[in-house]
Amino acid sequence: MTSGGTNTILEHEPVMVSEVMSHLITNPSGVYIDGTIGLGGHSKKILSSLNERGHLIGIDRDDEALAIAQKNLAPIGTNFSLYNQSYAETDLLIKEYGMHTVSGILLDLGLSSAQLNDQNRGFTFNGDGALDMRFNKQSGKTAEQILSSATEAEIADFIHLYSEERYAKKIAYNIKRAEKMATVDDLREAIRLSTPPNKRNRTFARVFQAIRIIVNDELNQLAFFLDNFINLLCVGGRIVIISYHSLEDRLVKLAFKKLKVENHFLILTKRPLIASDDEVTENSRSRSAKLRAGERTN
């Protein structure tokens, strides 16, 4: 855990800030969790809305992002704590803080601009860094290791599942037959050999996203969290989740509906909110974002 800090060194443009704040904050004296704090874009707004009795808990698997978030939040206040863990472990962190429930939880499931811009991380098909793609660089297998150990059929299956890419089998074939698969350029070349040039950048983006999802076990992490988060919210506590992938959004939608049927939950967004045209123009990252929110009722 870390807390405090001094100078802002990097900024990140958060998605749908006004929508997040209007759906999340109900008690300025409450404890709020940003489970995917990144560089702290949303958390700066959350912390600014809290009084001296309120507290923000920020969580992220990326220790580099946490260091930046710490410096970005420090000028606003000292009533925050940061943890280098997964949001799937939120229950343990709340207990460590000495509480059982909180007033609100935010998850923004997208990548931060710092992660995308760091070519050494391998998240983006632009550049030629190592094929890493781990949120936490100290644990788990890299994309290179997974592509090396997985069979052609396994690679084709997860690329198709997580990207709906029609050339998944051909891409998997060329991945396994490449002389090496250690850099972004190696993966990009395997995709290039497998696909027609029309809209190839979209294919690059989809396949890189699919591999990133499997590297970080993202859907299993989300599914586990969705099965347990209701017990972390106080009555009247709220949750806001921003997703960027149809499978993520479907998991959130189904979890919210299940809790509503069980009479534990009020869905605040009948349909997922999307960014305005103006925001998409200003911040292209918001184009695929979908926001769902709800409130614990009992």
Domains and CATH numbers, the chain: 17-114+219-296 (3.40.50.150), 136-215 (1.10.150.170)
Tally the residues of the chain.
298
Q: What pLDDT score was predicted for residue 110?
A: 83
Q: Furthest-apart CA pair in the chain: how many Å?
A: 59
SS (H, E, C) 109-144: CCCCHHHHHCCCCCCCCCCCCECCCCCCCCCCCCHH
Angle CA 19–24–25, to nearest 5:
110
Q: What pLDDT score was predicted for residue 92?
A: 87
Q: What pLDDT score was predicted for residue 12?
A: 65
Q: What pLDDT score was predicted for residue 169?
A: 97
pLDDT less than 50: residues of the chain? 2-9
Q: What pLDDT score was predicted for residue 114?
A: 67
Q: Are strands 233-243 and 102-108 parallel, antiparallel or unpaired?
A: parallel
Distance CA 173, CA 87 (A): 35
Angle, nearest 10°, between helix axes 218-228 and 200-215? 60
Distance CA 73, CA 132 (A): 28
